[in-house]
Amino acid sequence: MTYDHILVRYAELSLKGKNRSQFEKRLQHNVRTALKTSFPEVKVKRSFGRMFVQLNGHDEQGVSKVLKGLFGIHSISPALKLENDIDLIREGAVYAIKDALPAEKGTFKVTSKRIDKTFPVRSQKLNRELGAEVLKNTKEIQVDVHNPNVELRVEVRQDGTYLTCRTEYGPGGLPTGTGGKVMLMLSGGIDSPVAGYQMFKRGVEMEAIHFHSPPFTNERALQKVKDLTKVLSRYAGTEIRLHVVPFTEAQKQIHDAVPGEYEMTIMRRVMLRIAEKVAGKRDALALVNGESLGQVASQTLDSMHTINEVTNMPILRPLVAMDKQEVIEIAQKIDTYELSILPYEDCCTIFLPPQTKTKPNRNKANRFESSLDLDAIVKEAAEGTYEQKLSSAEELDKEFEDLL
């Protein structure tokens, strides 16, 4: 006997009222997409407010690993589907408990539901019979109905009996593709990939935009951003479009025209204008960045207020209230940290003077910008932007991969 299904429980979907079935369908679609290449024989079915993945011979652990990464999944349990036959169910109970408590130590309880009322053994009696069968066939395992180490759940339905025992947790959140599209401002740093991950959790589709300033930032820096995009695409369940903006000319002009302490502020304002244009072309409804309040000079409230002036687009900052350490922990968990700490220059760090104003104001920013031909700068950068679709199925750049 071996597990032949995985039971998938939904996260949060109960909150969604009449949208529920749409969300469930989307999650089913995402599960199918995520599994189809490596596990072509699996079947994915929805039933009674949850989902079953029929393994058809594929490895339970491998499939579970993929499912545990998909947003909208609360938890999963490997499941046995058996005929409604008491001897088979007994054998299944012993198998499931031994699988969950491999050292044959610890406590369990059995919770049965008899949905098929034609099945001759009632729930209470089934609990007792299966409990006794497990005790008879294991060494040091005991029953504890109040606080067991594992719970064996048995559901006798018309189409068969389902047994589950072991539970693992998914990331929760909402299924990708249910929340509209955002444009992630992706640098090569630690924060912005984490910001992207946090947004995926809310079901959005995502494209990314990166400002690149060759030759001041080199090909390796750009490759790092591409590789970060590939890692993020794992959480998208599909490829991600990365828009690369040629930013050298804009930076040079800003550097020449703007006093040092406002250079960062103006540069951010120009980046936002360009990002808004690219987002508009791609029907993205919001920008996302990795700012965290007070982390650096450009991320004070005064800075955000002054920088934000140039766009009406919502700017989502999922990390705004997080500490660096919390961000780093997520970066490590989602496999972006090691890439992010590789030491390549970002366009924001070149040219910039040591002093950046922590309290820039809008009046001065507008005055300093008036000597720039902003329309031309934004137009040229937006027109020179090229895109590349990146997917986690592709290899990471070899040099980086060795480091991970």
- Indicate whether 186 belongs to the interface with ligand ATP (CB under 6 A): yes
Element (H, E) at 295: none
> For Mg ion, which residue of 189, 203, 237, 360 counts as binding (CB under 5 A)?
189
Q: Which is nearer to ligand ATP, 57 or 294 (CB)?
A: 294
**Which residue, 164 or 340, is less far from ligand ATP as judged by CB?**
340
How is the beta sheet containing 315-316 ordered, strand by strand?
A: 315-316, 286-288, 181-185, 205-212, 240-246, 386-390
* 32 has binding-site annotation: no
- Nearest distance in Å: CB 189, ligand ATP: 2
| Region of 128-136, 140-148, 180-188, 386-394 interacting with ligand ATP (CB under 6 A) | 180-188
Please report whether residue 187 would count as binding Mg ion according to CB under 5 A. Answer: yes
Q: Give how far the C-alpha of residue 280 lies from the chain's centroid of Cα atoms, to the nearest Å.
A: 24
3-state secondary structure of 100: helix
Minimum distance from residue 348 beta carbon to Mg ion (Å): 6
Query: Is the Cα dihedral 39, 45, 48, 49 positive or negative?
Result: positive
211 binds ligand ATP (CB under 6 A): yes
Binding mask 278-297 vs ligand ATP (x if CB under 6 A, - otherwise)?
-----------xxx---xx-
Helices (H) and strands (E) in the chain, counts: 14, 15
Here the tokens at position 257 are: 């025209």
- Piece of the chain touching ligand ATP by CB under 6 A; list 71-79, 170-178, 182-190, 390-398: 182-190
Q: Is 199 in the site for ligand ATP (CB under 6 A)?
A: no
Cα 213 from Cα 345, distance rounded (Å): 10
Task: Specify the stretch interacting with ligand ATP by CB under 6 A; choose among 3-11, 107-115, 204-212, 360-368.
Answer: 204-212
Our finding on whether 193 is near Mg ion (CB under 5 A) is no
| Chain centre distance of CA 56 | 27
User: Of 189 and 237, which CB lies nearer to Mg ion in the complex structure?
Assistant: 189
CB neighbours (10 Å) of residue 267? 23
Q: Whose Cβ is closer to Mg ion: residue 31's or residue 271's?
A: 271
Q: Which residue is nearest to ligand ATP (CB)?
A: 189
Site size for ligand ATP, by CB under 6 A? 19
56-64: long-range contacts, CB 8 A cutoff, minimum separation 24: 56/4, 60/2, 60/3, 60/6, 62/38, 63/6, 63/35, 63/39, 64/6, 64/168
Question: Residue 34, interface with ligand ATP (CB under 6 A)?
Answer: no
Cβ nearer to Mg ion, comparing 67 with 288: 288
Residue 155 touches which member of ligand ATP, Mg ion, none, C-beta under 5-8 Å by kind: none
Q: How far is the CB of 212 from ligand ATP (least distance, A)?
A: 7
- Of 145, 137, 149, 140, give the one whose Cα is nearest residue 107: 149
Computed from CA positions of residues 399, 183, 312, 323, in that sequence, does the dihedral angle turn out positive or negative?
negative
> For residue 122, how many C-alpha atoms fall within 13 Å in the half-sphere facing its CB?
2
- The number of CA neighbours under 13 Å toward the Cβ of 14 is 7
Q: Is residue 187 involved in binding ligand ATP (CB under 6 A)?
A: yes
Contact partner at residue 51 from Mg ion, ligand ATP, none, CB < 5 to 8 Å by partner kind: none
> If DSSP codes are grouped into helix, strand and coil, which group holds residue 77?
strand
Specify binding-site residues. 185-186, 210-211, 268, 290, 299
**Which residues form the interface with Mg ion (CB under 5 A)?**
187, 189
**Which residues form the interface with ligand ATP (CB under 6 A)?**
185-187, 189-192, 209-211, 289-291, 295-296, 298, 346-348
